[in-house]
Amino acid sequence: MSKAEQRRGRGRSPHSVATRVYDRVRDGGERYWSLSDFSDLSATAVAHALSRLAGAGELQRVRKGLYYRSKPTAIGPSGPSGSAVMAKTARAPLHPSGLTAGTVLGLSTQNPRRAEFATSGVTGPFALGDATVHTRRPSSRASLDASDGALLELLRDRARYSDLSPEETADRLVRMLANGKRFERLAKAALDEPPRVRAMLGALGERAHAPAKALQPLRASLNPLTKFDFGVLRALPNGKDWQAR
């Protein structure tokens, strides 16, 4: 969205803003919502709209500024998990990892027994006691959202947490990377990731027709004499070009 569009959005009437907030929440399915999810709209009007949705039972307020939209289950509406709430509010970014990453990306329908996250912090949040937290991830991930971070975590695990076939997994990831500027964001952050992650991301980005200026730093960062285990992603037709073994 352009700056002009953002200014127009902020200038809309409270009623118009409320309608847009309602539409996004109702179309968004089960997830968490905060003011940052509506940066193109007036923060004051959004805060009022979210509060009204909570009052109407459309959202559940889990803490100041953070709301949860449930989904129906066999035993009633779903509820927010303590680990997910902490992941949304922790000071250091927390990104889904392991099977949690596969589920977030839509590659798995399994529900992990314990949520799994990764953070650039030295330690995980103390209150995140019901989850597994991998620490000391690269600080270059700080600007990535949960989905982008989950994709890097999935590549660290060589896409092993996908329920799809190798070909379907690769195709799904290629489509994800072809979305807007996503590959450029990830390619920049991935320069601090392990070499196998850079190689797999490069191969996927090439299939997604990413610009050469974004692919070149990834290729240049790889030792040309090293071969990498791509795991599930060995199905990529151009994997050998990116040093898959």
Q: What is the mean pLDDT of the chain?
A: 84
> For the chain, what's the residue count?
245
- Check whether residue 14 and residue 67 sit in a common domain: yes
Round to whole Å and give the CA distance between 49 and 227. 53
Q: What is the pLDDT of residues 208-242, one digit of tens each?
A: 999 999 999 999 999 999 999 999 999 899 999 99
pLDDT above 90 (res 153): yes
The confidence score (pLDDT) of residue 99 equals 93
The confidence score (pLDDT) of residue 11 equals 44
- Check whether residue 92 and residue 43 sit in a common domain: no
Element (H, E) at 102: helix 98-104
- Check whether residue 31 and residue 89 sit in a common domain: no
Range of the domain at 13: 3-77
Strand partners, 68: 32, 60
The confidence score (pLDDT) of residue 76 equals 53
pTM: 0.65
Q: What is the CATH number of the domain that holds 48?
A: 1.10.10.10
Which residue among 77, 109, 136 closes a domain?
A: 77
Q: What is the pLDDT of residues 25-51, one digit of tens each?
A: 888 777 778 887 888 889 899 999 999
The confidence score (pLDDT) of residue 218 equals 98
- Check whether residue 113 and residue 220 sit in a common domain: yes
- Check whether residue 98 and residue 156 sit in a common domain: yes
Q: What is the pLDDT of residues 158-212, one digit of tens each?
A: 999 999 999 999 999 999 999 889 999 999 999 999 999 999 999 999 999 999 9
Residues 54-65, mean pLDDT to the nearest whole number: 83
Q: What is the pLDDT of residues 122-147, one digit of tens each?
A: 765 544 556 788 889 999 998 888 88
- Check whether residue 137 and residue 210 sit in a common domain: yes
Element (H, E) at 76: strand 76-77
Residues 113-127, mean pLDDT to the nearest whole number: 74
pLDDT above 50 (res 4): no
- Check whether residue 92 and residue 142 sit in a common domain: yes
pLDDT above 70 (res 245): yes
Which residue among 55, 77, 99 closes a domain?
A: 77
Element (H, E) at 72: strand 72-73
| Model confidence band, residue 60 (pLDDT cutoffs 50, 70, 90) | confident
Element (H, E) at 134: strand 131-134
**Per the structure, how many domains does the chain have?**
2
Is 11 or 47 the better-scoring residue by pLDDT? 47
Burial of 141 (0-12, 13-18, 19+ CB in 10 A): buried
Q: What is the pLDDT of residues 70-92, one digit of tens each?
A: 765 554 555 555 545 555 555 55
Which residue among 77, 105, 136 closes a domain?
A: 77
